[in-house]
Structure 1
Amino acid sequence: MLNSDVSSIIYRSVAKHEENQALEIWCSIFNNPVDLEERLILESSEDGRQYVCAGITNVATRDEYRRRGLSRHLLQMTIDKLDQSNEFDLSMLGTGKVNHYERFRWEQVTQPIRVIIDWQIHASSHENIQWRPVSDLSYEDIELLCKMHSSHRRIYQMRRSPCSIFYHWVKRRWEKSAAIVYLDEDKGYVVIGNPENEEDVGVLEWRASNFDHEQKLLSLAVNEIRQRYGLTKRIQLFTLPQYMTIEQLTNWAGPVQVGTNYDIMMRNIRLPPGIYEQIKNSFSNGHAVFWSGDYF
């Protein structure tokens, strides 16, 4: 019989002599050694170039170290490593501590996010398509998702390979919102998050092969939401369209409101200024997408 009493569980830091064992357990759970350097690759759909992207997560020290200012020293040592290693092209952070990282030459990049549409298009006739819970997807399904994500790229996006990364991390994030997905090998895929919650339901992500297929996938998602909640007009997209401009989206679907994410920060490490500005502008205008599911 499984003991469900969790009151005796103790959370603590991993001791030095336990680090190897902890790493082995980590890798055994995810069936793959997680390689952060291999993972954080920013890909361009225009010329196929790949940029090694550095991130900083979990900067944590003991209280007495923080009181002595050593957390800042630890962060500076990490930054020096990024600058001197000649391994990284740029750094991207998703952080609420903008002022803290500005001191170390990261710059804030505001990003359009959470598009609210007053959807005016009447629902089309019911189509016999299959929406599947993300939790039910097989590894083969994830391989297909990974393939479509790579072949129908936005102008810049994080590489999701090997597919085990997609399976363990992206799928896990989608499962937290009880997401459902529609897959079509020709058109692409579209994911609806929080389908059982009328206030939070929305289109989490999609990748389409072209402009027309993007409209088709979004229409299918809206039809599914409306079948669940009636002829609701308020439709959420968690990113800007892949092919449509805001003007085209408005003319096609109805009035649009666009929110802003202020937590993204970028820092050039070794890119020519022109390329860095191009990448930065692609994120600030919403053509490229930074999503925490692609990032630890």
Structure 2
Amino acid sequence: MEIRQLQYFVKVAKKQHVTQAAEELHVAQSAVSRQIHQLEEELGVPLFVQKGRNLQLTTVGKKFLGRMEQILRDLDRAVNEAREFLDPEAGEIRIGFPHSLGINLLPTVVARFRQLHPNVKFRLRQGTYNSLIRDVIKGELDLAFISPFPEQNEYVSGDLLLREELYAIVPEGHDLAQMGTIRLEQLKDEAFVMFSEEYSLRNIVLEACAKAGFVPQIGFEGEETDTIRGLVAAGMGVSLLPEMALTEISQLQPAKVRVTEPQVTRSIGLIQRTGEKLPHVAEVFQAFLRDFTLGNKKSTS
């Protein structure tokens, strides 16, 4: 059994199509088919069945895929660790992040870190709250920015980096657009533009509204901060967004108003798998991030 066979098998399992897998692997389709056939012969069981133009994993194939993905991840990590031993400055960091932190925080810290460590590579993956935690637990990510920070989770641990204020956003012509501050209850009769259910910011907004004594009327839903901001600016409703998501200027720009009763914040942290020994370069980045956020807290206090 060769590593190449396992790599081809995992790619075909993901694409469910030999031709598409071959294209991504930059090899001939016949080479992929041959390696899969040899692997099945060596194992003595079929790993795929034909379903129309696609291939689907058999029951054995699904179990085999889970094992092989972990083996290839471990192999990839072992290779990176060996390279880091020769040159710790040439490693790779696999890091996840939610969309709302990819607008400002992530690009800023990565750019600053690369000024100090120009040869370090980043493999980035955007995800939702639950998917980021899952990928850290599975070992597919070394670290993940996450919000809210999971205070109690036996499988992941990390650092609470900062707390960020959420602002009310309303259309420019709204009666509250020119107010310096508002109470959240002043929005109780408005239609809200909310994140979809899998996004953690939705729960933060719902909990804040509950504290203010009302259940928001949801008029529209979106999956990215840009979508929420654009819909509000277009007059489709109101919402609450983190300050970082409001720094970028766009053609459709809502009015931003501070909320004081209750003040709405979210926690932002960096997590890793509990008990996991991080690659050296990821530890360096982790320490850099602690200093970076600590410096920002001091400068704003």
> Structure 2 length as normaliser, TM-score?
0.31
TM-score w.r.t. the length of structure 1 is 0.32
Instruction: Tell me: higher relative CO, structure 1 or 2? Use CA pairs within 8 A at least 6 residues apart.
Output: 1
